[in-house]
């Protein structure tokens, strides 16, 4: 049996090349000082925790704590299969379709695996350079990590370059990094939504790595019953009224339900009461 002794200088030198470990053990500030990385705390990779500085994450955690999420086991299975197959997934949908909130709760389900993933949220409404995304993701692959990139519409050319550069980095760390993208689709005159029609989008579609999110009346019924149990049995007419009034928008549905005290407050053209 042979023993090897590592002195402090050797350990320090190794840790300086592992900023992800330093951040987990100590703090973001420690990374900046010890690893000489000025961008670690200033970048916009937000962990999925309260107070991370990203309003979308805070709202998601508030809704989750309140038990306002209905999870479709069928969609969950499709999500997991697609993500496992290629390591990346694009979730598309109209504004208010629930793609971000549902995508985050699906991503969190992967934390229950034998090698649980942590999650970093990245909002591409902020200005990111190609280098910042590639280097930021590469530095955070010490542990299994899901990178949730939100609001990707309009940034497909950037993301195509980023993905190309990440291929060799992720190949060196199999299973350590998964990429989830969300993007808003655009309603067209014929009623069929479309995306940006880019190579990035097409290549993911060719790999069966795209999910379309589109709320349905049955989904609305599940959510209404979950949040307002005494609305169980809501008539089809009143359900249709809610569905059309909110323009199929789950965010507006949540706001509407906060204002409703009883099913009777929903206009019903048939004047039918609850069944």
Q: Is the pTM of this model over 0.85?
A: no
Please state, in angstroms and rounded to a whole number, the distance separating the CA atoms of residues 74 and 76: 5
2 assigned to some structural domain: no
Residue 267: the pLDDT is 66
Give the CATH number for residue 159. 3.40.50.300
pLDDT tens across 211-249, in order? Answer: 998 888 998 899 888 888 888 888 898 899 999 888 888
On whether residue 272 sits in a domain, the answer given is no
Contact 104, 148 (CB under 8 A): yes
Q: Are residues 180 and 89 in the same domain?
A: yes
Does residue 162 form part of some domain?
A: yes
C-alpha 17 chain-centroid distance:
28
Residue 1 lies in a domain: no
Q: What is the pLDDT of residue 119?
A: 93
In a domain, 222, yes or no: yes
Question: 251, 96 in Cβ contact below 8 A?
Answer: yes
Q: Are residues 204 and 231 in the same domain?
A: no
Residue 274 has pLDDT above 50, yes or no: no
Same domain assignment for residues 205 and 109: yes
Please check whether residue 18 is in contact with residue 30, taking contact to mean a CB–CB distance below 8 angstroms: no
User: Which has more pLDDT, 115 or 27?
Assistant: 27
Does residue 50 sit in the same domain as residue 185? yes
Please tell me whether residues 182 and 81 are part of one structural domain: yes
pLDDT category of residue 103 using cuts at 50, 70 and 90: very high
Residues 29 and 117 grouped into a single domain: no
Instruction: Indicate whether 148 and 203 sit together in one domain.
Output: yes
- Residue scoring higher pLDDT (84 or 148): 148
Q: What is the pLDDT of residues 177-220, one digit of tens each?
A: 999 999 998 766 665 555 556 788 888 988 899 999 888 899 88
Q: How many domains does the chain have?
A: 3
Whether residues 202 and 234 share a domain: the answer is no
Residue 250 is part of which domain span?
A: 217-265
**Distance separating alpha carbons of residues 116 and 145, to the nearest angstrom:** 8
Q: Are 14 and 57 in the same domain?
A: no
224 domain residue, yes or no: yes
137 plus 259 within the same structural domain: no
């Amino acid at each position: 049996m042979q023993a090897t002794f590592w002195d402090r200088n050797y350990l320090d030198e190794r840790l300086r090349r592992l900023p992800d470990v330093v951040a987990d053990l100590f703090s973001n500030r420690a990374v900046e000082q010890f690893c000489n990385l000025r961008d670690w705390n200033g970048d916009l990779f937000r962990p999925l925790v309260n107070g991370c500085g990203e309003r979308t994450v805070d709202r998601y955690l508030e809704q989750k704590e309140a038990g306002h999420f209905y999870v479709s086991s069928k969609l969950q299975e499709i999500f997991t299969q697609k993500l496992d197959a290629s390591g990346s997934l694009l979730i598309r949908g109209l504004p208010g379709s629930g793609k971000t909130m549902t995508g985050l709760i699906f991503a969190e389900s992967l934390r229950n695996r034998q090698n649980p993933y942590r999650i970093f949220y990245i909002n591409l409404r902020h200005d990111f350079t190609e280098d910042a995304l590639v280097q930021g993701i590469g530095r955070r692959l010490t542990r299994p990590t899901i990178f949730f990139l939100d609001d990707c519409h309009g940034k497909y050319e950037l993301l195509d370059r980023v993905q190309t550069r990440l291929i060799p980095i992720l190949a060196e760390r199999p299973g350590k990094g998964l990429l989830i993208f969300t993007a808003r689709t655009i309603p067209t005159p014929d009623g069929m939504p479309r995306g940006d029609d880019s190579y990035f989008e097409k290549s993911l579609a060719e790999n069966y790595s795209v999910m379309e999110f589109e709320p349905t009346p049955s989904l609305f019924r599940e959510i209404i019953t979950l949040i307002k149990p005494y609305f169980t049995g809501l008539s089809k007419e009143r359900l249709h009224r809610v569905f059309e009034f909110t323009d199929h928008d789950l965010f507006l549905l949540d706001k509407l339900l906060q204002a409703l005290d009883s099913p009777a407050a929903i206009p019903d053209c048939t004047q039918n009461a609850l069944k």
